[in-house]
A and B are shown apart, each in its own frame.
Chain A
Amino acid sequence: MFRSRAWYRFSRNPLSVAGLAIIVLTVLLALLAPFVTPYPKHAVSFTNFSEASLAPSAKYWFGTDTIGRDILTRIVFGFRVSLALGGVVLLLAVPVGVLLGLVAGYFGGRTETVIMRVTDVFLAIPPLVLALAVLGFLQPNLFNAMMAVTVMWWPWYTRLVYNLTRSIRTEGFVTAAEVIGAPKWHILFREILPNCAPSILTKMTLDMGFVILIGSSLSFLGLGVQPPTPDLGTMVAEGAKYLPDQWWISVFPGIAVLVCVLGFNLLGDGLRDLLDVEV
Chain B
Amino acid sequence: MKPLLKVSNLHLRFKLFEGVSHVLNGVSLEVGRGERVAVVGESGCGKSVTLRLIMGLVQHSNTRVEGQVEFDGINMLRSSTAKLRELRGRRICPIFQDPMASLNPTFTILDQMSTVIRRGGKARSRQEIFELAKSALGQVAITDPERVLYAYPFQLSGGLNQRVLIAMALVNQPDLILADEPGTALDVTVQEQTLRLMRGLTEKQGSAVLLITHNLGVVREFADRVYVMYAGNVVEEGSTKHIFTSPKHPYTQALMASVPKLSGGQLPQGIDGFVPDYTKPPPGCRFHPRCAYAREACKQDQPLRKLGGGHKAACVLYEEVSHA
- Residues in chain A within 8 A of chain B (CB atoms): 4-5, 8-9
Contacts and interface: CB of A to CB of B under 8 A. Distances in A.
Contacts of B18: 5
Interface in B1-57: 17-18
Complex A-B, nearest 5 residue pairs according to Cβ-Cβ distance, in ascending order = A8-B17, A5-B17, A9-B17, A4-B17, A5-B18
B57 to A, nearest CB: 20
5 contacts: A4-B17, A5-B17, A5-B18, A8-B17, A9-B17
B90 to A, nearest CB: 35
Interface of B: 17-18
Contacts of A9: 17
A interface majority secondary structure: helix
A5 B17 CA distance: 6
Contacts of A4: 17
Contacts of B17: 4-5, 8-9
Contacts of A5: 17-18
Nearest to B61: A12
Contacts of A8: 17
Nearest to B18: A5
A200 B18 CA distance: 28
Nearest to A6: B17
B138 to A, nearest CB: 39
A4 B18 CA distance: 10
Nearest to A4: B17
B292 to A, nearest CB: 34
B14 to A, nearest CB: 13
A191 to B, nearest CB: 27
A4 B17 CA distance: 9
A8 B17 CA distance: 7
A208 to B, nearest CB: 28
A275 to B, nearest CB: 16
A140 to B, nearest CB: 49
A5 B16 CA distance: 9
A9 B17 CA distance: 8
A9 B16 CA distance: 9
A8 B16 CA distance: 9
B61 to A, nearest CB: 9
Nearest to A9: B17
B63 to A, nearest CB: 14
B15 to A, nearest CB: 11
Nearest to B62: A12
A12 to B, nearest CB: 9
A113 to B, nearest CB: 27
A10 to B, nearest CB: 11
A184 to B, nearest CB: 34
